[in-house]
Amino acid sequence: MLNYLWSFMIIFSIFISGFTGGMRDLTTSALTASQNAVELCIKMGGIVALWMGVMRIAEKAHLIDVLARKMTPLLDFLFPDVPREHAARKYIATNLIANFLGLGWAATPPGLKAMLELQKLNLDKKRATHAMCMFLIINISSVQLISINMISYRTSYGSANPTEIIAPCIIATCFSTVAAVTFAKLMYRRKK
């Protein structure tokens, strides 16, 4: 995917610049961009390290497991087809909590395990179940509380108030997640 996208961006810009005569500018901006990337990494490194340090404390205190266990009523509502004692529940909960805390790397492995477990409950192995659809739609609607990467980019580019986007992000996330859940629930009712 990125293979073609990246090649296309490079080839396309060089061709256009060839016609418009902006070759020198093109070279300069390619060179500056690579330097900017390194500067950005050094600047955002501090913020990401700070946040991951705090989140490591949460992980060591088993906060993810504790929060995941508190999700039973919510999971009853979202995944009525998945029995309470089923292993899929635990993985779904861990995935959602990790996503909520912005721990993307900690969210994917339990997410994939949740799909494997949901597949065991599936009668038609080629067709997605309602629980799978619900799980993935919620995942894509994004449930992240704070996007620390975005805050670090904003800081690096000299924003006067990099964290001012936290509240609107949370509200927009709520809207998209509510829309996602409503849609999935409606489809569930209709096709039942």
Q: Which of 3, 4, 57, 192 binds another protein (CB under 8 A)?
A: 57
Using CA atoms, how far apart are residues 118 and 81, in angstroms rounded to an integer?
A: 10
Instruction: Kindly write out the interface string for residues 27-56 of this chain, putting x where it contacts another protein by CB under 8 A and - elsewhere.
Output: -xxx-xxx-xxx-xx--xx--xxxxxxxxx
Q: Give whichever of 2 and 73 is closer to another protein, judged by the CB atom.
A: 2
By CB under 8 A, is residue 87 in contact with another protein? no
By CB under 8 A, is residue 123 in contact with another protein? no
Amino acid at 177: T
Amino acid at 19: F
Task: Give min distance, CB of 115 to another protein, in A.
Answer: 5
Contact status, residue 17 vs residue 23, Cβ threshold 8 Å: yes
Token reading at 139: 């995942």
Task: Give min distance, CB of 80 to another protein, in A.
Answer: 17
Q: Any idea of the CA torsion for 64, 67, 68, 69, to the nearest 10 degrees?
A: 130
Q: Which string of b and e fits 137-162 if b means at least 16 CB within 10 Å?
A: bbbebebbebbbeebbbbbbeeeeeb
With residue 7 as reference, give the H or E element that holds it: helix 2-20
By CB under 8 A, is residue 21 in contact with another protein? no
First to last CA, the chain: 36
Task: Give min distance, CB of 75 to another protein, in A.
Answer: 18
Q: Which of 3, 4, 60, 189 binds another protein (CB under 8 A)?
A: 60
Task: Give min distance, CB of 87 to another protein, in A.
Answer: 14
Identify which range of 68-76, 77-85, 86-94, 160-168 contacts another protein by CB under 8 A.
160-168
